[in-house]
Amino acid sequence: MTRFALTLEYDGRPFMGWQRQNHGPSVQQALEEAVFAMTGERTAVHAAGRTDAGVHALAMRAHVDIAKPVAAFRLMEALNALVRPRSVAVLACTVVPDDWHARFSCLARAYEYRIVTRRAPLTWEAGLAWQVPQPLDADAMHATAQVLVGRHDFTTFRSAHCQADSPVRTLDLLDVARDGERIVVKAAARSFLHHQVRSMVGCLAMVGMGRWSCDDLAEALAARDRARLGLNAPPDGLFFVRAVYP
């Protein structure tokens, strides 16, 4: 049995998310079926993060154990040829030790959230960014975002379906930068709660619209109450961009 680490890019639009679901296609299932088509082996593919429906990845990390002797490069080429829908690509594949685990060995994760502020609907970028029809004050968003950086109870920013034992997380970075009508929010932490990035981005957008002050955000955080969430941003603009390992 050989363990392979995969670096994956995917377009989240056709999927119900990373994790296998009974009610629709998932990235995990697409990859597991490509592995089966190549090796005849039914084996699980584990990822660093279980992204939601419609969320994308530029460089998700995952691992899979395969009994059939196969070179890493050949495995990558075969998975790229066999995976369906073709909205998943294996960018890199390497052999790793048996104790390397895409999820449990991961030391840090980073996401990027893309916003386009304009009245006109998106065309080629539809589903790949959040279109907000008014201008947003990115400087105010960035300044306010720093309230969330550090170790906090993020109950307000956590989905009701979150299965994590604790709502406490340490947010290492939350940066907001603007380039014309485009705003990118970068977030990094050891791990995130379910919907945490989208919930933080949604509340920062409230700040950017001038509907929330910095104090409103601080109070929402301190309340530790999901009902105090200002806005949950749609999955469209969210990209998993990096997983860090020892």
78 binds a second copy (CB under 8 A): no
Whether 239 and 52 have beta carbons less than 8 Å apart is answered as no
Whether 238 and 111 have beta carbons less than 8 Å apart is answered as yes
Of 81 and 107, the one with the shorter C-beta distance to a second copy is 81
Which tokens go with 11? 């377009």
Distance CA(45)–CA(85), nearest Å, equals 17
- Which span sits near a second copy by CB under 8 A: 4-12, 61-69, 107-115, 187-195? 4-12
- Which span sits near a second copy by CB under 8 A: 8-16, 39-47, 105-113, 186-194? 8-16
- Which span sits near a second copy by CB under 8 A: 16-24, 72-80, 102-110, 137-145? 72-80
For the bound state, the minimum distance from the C-beta of residue 204 to a second copy, rounded and expressed in Å, comes to: 24
Which tokens go with 182? 């485009």
- Is 215 designated active site? no
CB atoms under 10 Å from CB of 9, counted, come to: 16
128 binds a second copy (CB under 8 A): yes
56 binds a second copy (CB under 8 A): yes
Distance CA(53)–CA(161), nearest Å, equals 14
CB atoms under 10 Å from CB of 146, counted, come to: 14
Sign of CA dihedral 215, 169, 199, 208: positive
Of 7 and 105, the one with the shorter C-beta distance to a second copy is 7
122 binds a second copy (CB under 8 A): yes
For the bound state, the minimum distance from the C-beta of residue 98 to a second copy, rounded and expressed in Å, comes to: 26
From 4, 10, 113, 192, residue interacting with a second copy (rule: CB under 8 A): 10
Of 63 and 142, the one with the shorter C-beta distance to a second copy is 63
Is there a binding annotation on residue 10?
no
13 binds a second copy (CB under 8 A): yes
| Backbone dihedral region for residue 71 (phi beyond 0: left; psi -120 to 50: alpha; all else: beta) | beta
User: Which runs of consecutive H residues, i.e. helices, occur in the chain?
Assistant: 27-39, 72-82, 138-145, 196-208, 214-223
Beta-bridge partners for 179: 182
- Which span sits near a second copy by CB under 8 A: 123-131, 161-169, 191-199, 212-220? 123-131
Distance CA(100)–CA(232), nearest Å, equals 34
Binding residues for substrate: 111
Q: Tell me the catalytic residues.
A: 52
Contact residues: a second copy, CB under 8 A: 9-11, 13, 56, 76-77, 80, 86-91, 118-124, 126, 128
